[in-house]
Each structure stands twice: as C-alpha cells, then as structure tokens.
Amino acid sequence: MGAALEGNNKVTLSPAAKLAIHEQLDRLLASSYFSHSKRFPNFLRFVVEQTLAGDADDIKERTLGIEIFGKDADYDTAADPIVRVTAAEIRKRVAQYYQEPAHNGELRITLPSGSYVPQFHSPKGGNVAGLPESDPVTAQVAVPAVQAAAPAAPPRRRWSIAPALILVLAALIAGGAYYGWKYATRSAFEFFWQPILTTGDPVLICVADQTETSGQILRDSTDPTREILLKPMSKPTDNLTTVAIDDLSAIVRIAGLLQSHGKKYSLRGEGATSLADLRSGPAVFIGAFDNAWTLRLTNPLRYHFSNNTEMTEVRIVDGASPRQQPNWVVSRAVQDTTNNYRDYAIVARFTDTNTGKLTVIVAGLARGGTIAAGEFLTDAGDMAQLMRAAKAAGDKKNMEVVLSTQIIDGEPGTPKMEATYFW
C-alpha cells in the first residue's frame, strides 16, 4: 500500500488510496463549508489533484495565483495576498468540518500552515487505503500530559510509576484541558452576549430594507436570452421591501444565537422602527448605509461611518484622530469591477443615551463586511480574542471594534480586528 510522506512534496500512493482521497474530497466540498463558494472548492481541488498527480513541487503561490485567480504571470505576490488569504480561509473551513463528530471516522485532508501542498491521513484507529494515521488533537494533549506525569527522579531514591497511573494522570490533564476549553468558550460568548440574554425584554433585530419599485426582470422560457421587465402591480404606497442577501447571513447567525439561548426576539425593518420601539428593550442593528438607525446610533461613537457626496467611496473614520485617518475605505469602482477588495465593518455593544437600552451594531461598509461582522460575533475564537482585549482595557461595559476582511470573488474571508475602543 502506498503512503503519504510528510515533509516531502513527493507523494507515492496506491490507486486505492487515490480513490479514497477523491471520494473524501467530494464529501468535503459538498459540505456547507464549501458548497456555497466557487473559489475555495476550486483551490482545494486543484492542490489535491496536483499532489495526487505527482506535481506537488509545482504548487507555488504564483502558480496558484495564475491558475486559480487568473493573475498575470508577473503579478506581485507581496502586494496581492489573495492566495495566502484563500489558503488561510480553507484551513479554517477544513478544521471546522473535521471538528464535527460525524466526520471523526473519515479520511483527513489537511492543508498545513505555511504550505499549499495537502496532506492525507487515516483517522485515529483507522486504516484508510494504507494512509498513515493522524490524530492531531490527541497528539497535542497526550504527549505533554505523559511528560508532566513522570518527573525526573530525586537523588538516591528511585520511584516507579505504573503505566496505568500515567494514563490516568494523562486523562485527567486532558480532561481538565477539555473542560477548561469548554468553560472558556462559554465565558467568551457570555462576556459579550450575557447582558443582552439576561434582560427581561425581547430583543429587536432592526434590519436594513430596500423599497422594491423598479419591477422584476424575468427571462422568456422559449428564449432565455430575452429579458422582460415586469412592472410592479402594486400601488406606490404598497411597495414591497426586500432584505439584502449579505445582511441575511448576519441576521440568521444572530437570530440563531438568540434562539439557542431561549431568548425571544422580533425582526423589523428600519423604516418601520420607531424610537418608542427602541426604548422597549435591547436592539441589534444590522447593515450600515442602508440602515438609518445604524448611522444615527454610531455617529457619536469614536469609530463611525462616512462617505463622499457621490457615495462612490464609503469609509470608517476615527473621531479621535481627525488629522490622521486610517485607510478603512471601500471604493465602489474597485468593488464593482474586481469583486476582490478589503472590506471593513463595525461591531459594537453599548448603552445608547437616547433609549437607555443596550445596543449591538453589526454593520459593514460594503458586500461582505456585514457577513464578517455577523461571523465575528457568533464565533467562540473571535469572542475570546475580544474578551482578552476588553480585560486588558479594564473590563469596561461599552465596546466598539473595527473589523477588516479580504473579499475574494465576492466572498468574505476571516474577520480581523483592526482597532478596539472601550469606555
């Protein structure tokens, strides 16, 4: 049987192993972590197939930029991080896939940090097509635990520790690490959301809405290239409202988090939301330039939204440094022509002085920014990072964060904290 050789780009695999890897790749790409994307599956399939074909030595950053993203042969890899950002997002999605218990017994395809060449392993206790076993989680916990359980013997005395005792100690240490992780995860979410979840009033989720007045474009069934603009039949006063698809991702994430904690909530468009509504309980505001309430509530904050007169550039500004503004800006021209750019967002939690109620902001500058903001507020790792920053700042009650995310082919990558402010 063939084997995957770690640390070497030359991989020798049996036909059975290659078949098993192809089947696992199909399962992985059919999961929700990849099925809604185009670039991420193309990237992972390309590097896997290149490796199985024996061409792993040709998997370089520049090659991937040319083959997958259509870059010029002489493009500047230092200035354009699209390959590195995509690889980092794929590593995250692959890790999330294998963290689900349903996939514990599956062959593992991983993309090691610092490399674009995938590795293939059987799960712990398995022997899939002769591939070497791998159980990274167990390996990371068990080795330090055994070493800690067997300290060096003191002078002139000999001690012997039964292997069973070593295993018990290792299990206790590993178990403590697991429950410590669970506690830290729970604490990270409670740190941000507990003030919202413990209020007696339901949460109002105020979303951006767009008035639909131009009609609907339909295609002719006999000639799909022929488009027909169907004018709305409703009266102008009966205009329908729609929700932006980018905002929908954040809405689903936030609503799901509230529902999982048994917290009641209501969903309302910003045009139908009044000040009286906001005074009745905590509120979450999703969307920026299409949500007037978001702009009103963030305007007095240190970090807030701004734009030029023509709305061709939108940005986040720092009210504390009017002379030295950060480059948190999105150009509509770049956004529309390339679909690859860096987006920015604001997430915040504070007590609004006008309503006296807790307020949460989830708003991006352009497409993808709001999605990344929703992901940030519902991800345990991101919440833990914010919790550490808050503790370092003195555990203040109000907080504001500026996020950035790389948009690749219209899809946001991992959110990154650019700046924080606590008061």
- Structure confidence by residue, pLDDT tens digits, 266-325: 999 888 999 999 999 999 999 998 889 999 999 999 999 999 988 889 999 999 998 899
pLDDT for res 398: 97
In a domain, 389, yes or no: yes
- 102, 42 Cβ separation under 8 angstroms: no
Are 250 and 186 in a shared domain? no
The answer, as to whether pTM is greater than 0.95, is no
- The Cα–Cα gap between 135 and 143 comes to 12
Are 30 and 141 in a shared domain? no
- Non-local CB neighbours of 67 within 8 Å, separated by 6+ positions: 46
pLDDT for res 138: 29
Are 348 and 295 in a shared domain? yes
Overall number of domains in the chain: 3
In a domain, 9, yes or no: no
Are 112 and 167 in a shared domain? no
Which domain does 178 fall in, by range? 136-151+161-190
Using DSSP's 3-state secondary structure scheme, residue 268 falls into: strand
In a domain, 83, yes or no: yes
- 387, 417 Cβ separation under 8 angstroms: no
- Express as a percent the part of the chain with pLDDT over 90: 43
Are 379 and 280 in a shared domain? yes
In a domain, 7, yes or no: no
What is the phi/psi pair of residue 26, to 5°? -65, -40
In a domain, 218, yes or no: no
pLDDT at residue 161 is higher than 90: no
What is the phi/psi pair of residue 193, to 5°? -95, -20
Are 114 and 180 in a shared domain? no
Are 122 and 53 in a shared domain? yes
Ramachandran region of residue 188, left (φ > 0), alpha (ψ -120 to 50) or beta? alpha
In a domain, 341, yes or no: yes
Are 283 and 374 in a shared domain? yes
Are 304 and 364 in a shared domain? yes
Q: How crowded is residue 134: how many other Cβ atoms within 10 Å of its Cβ? A: 20
Are 186 and 126 in a shared domain? no
Are 203 and 286 in a shared domain? yes
- Express as a percent the part of the chain with pLDDT over 70: 74
Are 127 and 176 in a shared domain? no
In a domain, 213, yes or no: no
Between strands 283-286 and 203-207, the pairing is: parallel
In a domain, 220, yes or no: no
